[in-house]
A and B are shown apart, each in its own frame.
Chain A
């Protein structure tokens, strides 16, 4: 299945765009996605943290992704 990932902040610079389409297998988890992102874009490993939000909630590595999810790469936040 294909997932469409949104990027913000420095993640946009790293993937050189604000969205990224990725072909993944059924059962792919947030942890798998992070490893795939780091494999494709090694700069993600240099960040202070790399978190994935699914449908507007932070999710742990074990969370399984589905095609209709809104998946967002959350690099270290710096509001305020």
Chain B
């Protein structure tokens, strides 16, 4: 099972050291961004819980699910493939850009890969910001940019064949 994730802290947040029972130093990072690519189901509440924060005035969540048709043609299932390490770094860049632009307090982006059935969740984006309007804008920016830059590919399977989505003009 793949579960790769990356967490980064904003530079303006302090980190604190904690010492475990063996006297070894661990750096405890105040995590602000949560990125995951998983080949097992992803859950909106994981992203929502991550962004929940007392300093937040509002949070928005986008949940992308597998649709049962494309241009009227019945879809049976989907398959997502990813160049995982680069996809994680591109998703992190998007979260960092959104954080800078809309002062997000926290951003969580989870993307599923592998075979997905109709109705299953493919992507979740949750953002928390001090004010309501910026939460909507930041969330929209994240999903729009993810679709343009993150190396993940969707293959749609129909009753009579399959196609790599958006590969051709």
Q: Which residues of A contact B (CB under 8 A)?
A: 6, 8-10, 13, 46-48, 53, 56-58, 72, 74-80
Once the chains bind, are B123 and A53 in contact (CB under 8 Å)? no
Once the chains bind, are A75 and B153 in contact (CB under 8 Å)? yes
In the complex, how many residues of chain B place their beta carbon closer than 8 angstroms to a beta carbon of chain A? 29
Once the chains bind, are B152 and A78 in contact (CB under 8 Å)? yes
* Chain B residues with CB below 8 A from A57, complex form: 86
Q: Which residues of B contact A (CB under 8 A)?
A: 64, 80-83, 85-87, 89, 111, 122-123, 143, 146-155, 164-169
Once the chains bind, are B164 and A79 in contact (CB under 8 Å)? no
Once the chains bind, are B166 and A72 in contact (CB under 8 Å)? no
A21 to chain B, nearest CB (A): 19
Q: Which of B64, B85, B123, B150 contacts A77 (CB 8 A)?
A: B150
Once the chains bind, are A10 and B89 in contact (CB under 8 Å)? no
A58 to chain B, nearest CB (A): 8
Best-buried of B86, B150, B152, B169 by chain A (most CB within 10 Å): B86
A9 to chain B, nearest CB (A): 3
Once the chains bind, are B168 and A79 in contact (CB under 8 Å)? no
* A6-B83 contact, Cβ under 8 Å, with A75-B164, A78-B166, A79-B153: yes
Once the chains bind, are A56 and B86 in contact (CB under 8 Å)? yes
Other A-B contacts than A77-B151, A80-B64, 17 sampled, CB-CB below 8 A, are A8-B151, A9-B155, A10-B153, A10-B164, A47-B168, A48-B167, A53-B86, A53-B151, A58-B149, A77-B147, A77-B149, A77-B150, A78-B147, A78-B152, A78-B167, A79-B111, A80-B152
